[in-house]
């Protein structure tokens, strides 16, 4: 999955939707767990009262997956 998301801009698109006022109230949180040499990241996005979480090998990967889920849920992304 990490290779599939390389260079993706889902979080940027989500942020732009908030700035254009199509979506409201973007908050984020991230946490890493596991050994320092290979942590697993969990990234959570709260937007419009809904929560979208994802786990990945990097913080960026988890963030992009969570943003992709949010965009899909709100109808801004077709998969």
The structure's pTM equals 0.86
The per-residue pLDDT for 1 is 41
pLDDT class for 78, splitting at 50, 70, 90? confident
Per-residue b/e over 37-66, b at no fewer than 16 CB within 10 Å? eeeebbbbbebeeeebebebeeebbbbbbb
pLDDT at position 5 over 80: no
All domains of the chain, ordered by start, with CATH?
2-73 (3.30.160.20)
pLDDT in tens, 37-53: 999 999 999 998 999 99
pLDDT in tens, 46-75: 998 999 999 999 999 999 999 999 999 999
């Amino acid at each position: 999955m990490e290779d599939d998301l390389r260079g993706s801009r889902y979080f940027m698109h989500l942020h732009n939707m908030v700035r254009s006022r199509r979506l409201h109230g973007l908050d984020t949180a991230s946490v890493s767990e596991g050994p320092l040499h290979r942590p697993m990241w969990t990234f959570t996005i709260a937007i419009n009262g809904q929560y979208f979480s994802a786990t990945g090998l990097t913080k960026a990967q988890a963030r992009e997956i969570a943003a992709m889920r949010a965009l899909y849920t709100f109808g801004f992304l077709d998969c």
